[in-house]
Amino acid sequence: MVSQVLPFRVNEHIVSELIDWDRVPDDPIFQLTFPQRGMLDQEDYEHIRCLLRREAASHLIGDAANAIRLRLNPHPAGQLTHNIPRLGGRPLPGLQHKYRETVLFFPGGGQTCHAYCTYCFRWAQFVNLPGMKFEAREADDLAAYLKAHPEVSDVLITGGDPMIMKTRLLRQYIEPLLTDDLAHVRNIRIGTKSLSYWPQRFVSDPDADEVLRLFEDVVRAGRQLAFMAHFSHPVELEPAITREAVRRVRDTGAEIRIQAPLIRRVNDRPDAWADLWRTGVSLGMIPYYMFVERDTGPNRYFAVPLARAHEIFRAAYRRVSGLARTVRGPSMSAFPGKVRVLGVAEIADERVFVLDMIQARKPQWIRRPFFARFDPEATWLDDLEPAFAERFFFEEDAERSEADSPIGTWR
Ligand SMILES: *Cc1c(COP(=O)(O)O)cnc(C)c1O
Ligand code: SF4
């Protein structure tokens, strides 16, 4: 029923290596990959069930599924409206440029994954919602855009999962970035869950060695190949083949950073995070972000209140050595920027959240502390009310400068 609406895909590695079937349905990787009834509202669930029961025509089921999908905030935080850059007036739908230093690139060949996470914030990429998919067919637009933007130091190739692509195709996207006229592009990042979901990609797939050669070429060109590896739970680091894949990727000179959202039923315990960071560090990886589950898709099933998210972060952070305290969070990728919950404080008899931005549409907003009224139920920035002020400082600032399209405000 649920997979009529939300994407579902799993594979042999996950089913036999990662899920502990004695713990199903509570097993974290089962919750991470298998659709759960609670992900749909009762009413929506019944509606789909009814259509399937009476063997309705597939276009009717499709229409019903699309209506539900559109109510699930398929593109949060202004992704379709505010982050798409232009080149000579022409929009480039396969690119996003929200923060000055980093351009996101969505190659057309990389818009699926080896398996789908139930909580995926990019879920709209995997279902056929008309007009809801961003992807690029050409690497030329990317290179041309970067030539015109010397302030960009990082390209993040993302999806979906770019590591779903064969090496030959991936090389066609990456090689043009290594030329001398794009020397300002210092870091090539790849956002991927392949080390968890399909470590075979780097060990035993037919072009496993070839992809390692590509990473070596990036490093030899004097750039950093930064693997932004999505790991949700320490159990994903256990298989021997995953450790072998990590070792092989690192041997190319690439750096691996680990990040994931905090998800109820998957990793909402401090021990899970402390273990993940500790084991990650001992395998040579760098803890990077703990995200707050975004306000999209079946978010209500997975959301953890901000107050609890901060407690979990702090409890885990306390338990690890300084080498793992490179991690930042809990962070919301919200409309104005990446908003971090720094803590809860009592100020002038009022209980407040202390927040700041790690990334922002306007660089002058970064690392400026601000306050919101404490609310134990709040799960997202939109739920928060400013404390000691009528508005949040960035709302006033956005209005003053009428910075409707952020792209360009810092130029
Ligand atoms: C997180 C993010 C980045 C990268 O931010 P870093 O803090 O440099 O890792 C870039 N673009 C978007 C839209 C992001 O959400
Ligand atoms: S790997 Fe990333 S893009 Fe793919 S399903 Fe999981 S969260 Fe979504």
Q: What is the DSSP string of 187-254?
A: EEEEEE-HHHH-GGGGTTSTTHHHHHHHHHHHHHTT-EEEEEEE--SGGGG-SHHHHHHHHHHHHTT-
Is the CB of residue 230 below 6 angstroms from any atom belonging to ligand 2?
A: yes
**Whole-number pLDDT of residue 75:** 79
| HSE-up (13 A, CA, CB side) for residue 343 | 5
User: Distance from CA of residue 123 to its chain's centroid?
Assistant: 11
**Whole-number pLDDT of residue 299:** 84
**Rounded Cα–Cα distance for residues 161 and 114 (Å):** 8
Tell me the ligand closest to 288's alpha carbon.
1
Tell me the ligand closest to 105's alpha carbon.
1
Is the CB of residue 122 below 6 angstroms from any atom belonging to ligand 2?
A: yes
**Rounded Cα–Cα distance for residues 27 and 331 (Å):** 25
Is the CB of residue 161 below 6 angstroms from any atom belonging to ligand 2?
A: yes
* 348 phi-psi bin (left φ>0, alpha ψ -120 to 50, beta other): left
Beta bridge partners of 345: 352
Tell me the ligand closest to 152's alpha carbon.
1
Beta bridge partners of 332: 339
**Whole-number pLDDT of residue 298:** 82
Beta bridge partners of 157: 105, 190
**Whole-number pLDDT of residue 401:** 59
Going from the Cα of 106 to the center of ligand 2, the distance in angstroms, rounded, reads 13
**Whole-number pLDDT of residue 404:** 46
Residue 275: both structure tokens together: 């273990």
Is the CB of residue 99 below 6 angstroms from any atom belonging to ligand 1?
A: yes
User: Distance from CA of residue 49 to its chain's centroid?
Assistant: 31
Query: Per residue of the chain (411 residues), what is the pLDDT tens digit?
Result: 999 999 899 999 999 999 999 999 999 999 999 999 999 999 999 999 999 999 999 999 999 999 999 988 887 767 667 889 999 899 998 999 999 999 999 998 998 999 999 988 778 878 767 665 666 657 889 999 999 999 999 999 998 999 999 999 999 999 999 999 999 999 999 999 999 999 999 999 999 999 999 999 999 999 999 999 999 999 999 999 999 999 999 999 999 999 999 999 999 999 999 999 999 999 999 999 999 998 888 888 999 999 999 999 999 999 999 999 999 999 999 999 999 999 999 999 999 999 999 999 999 999 999 999 999 999 999 999 999 999 999 998 766 654 444 444 432
Q: Where are the domains of the chain?
A: 1-303, 334-411
The beta-strand segments (E) located in 51-158 are 86-87, 90-91, 95-99, 102-105, 154-157
CATH number listed for the domain at residues 1-303: 3.20.20.70
**Whole-number pLDDT of residue 408:** 43
Going from the Cα of 78 to the center of ligand 1, the distance in angstroms, rounded, reads 14
**Whole-number pLDDT of residue 271:** 98
If you compute the radius of gyration of the chain from its CA atoms, what whole number of angstroms results? 21
Nearest CA, atom 10, ligand 1: 102
Going from the Cα of 370 to the center of ligand 2, the distance in angstroms, rounded, reads 31
Going from the Cα of 102 to the center of ligand 1, the distance in angstroms, rounded, reads 7
**Whole-number pLDDT of residue 400:** 65
**Rounded Cα–Cα distance for residues 380 and 108 (Å):** 31
- Ligand 2 atom showing the smallest separation from residue 197 Cα: 1
Going from the Cα of 197 to the center of ligand 1, the distance in angstroms, rounded, reads 23
Is the CB of residue 104 below 6 angstroms from any atom belonging to ligand 1?
A: yes
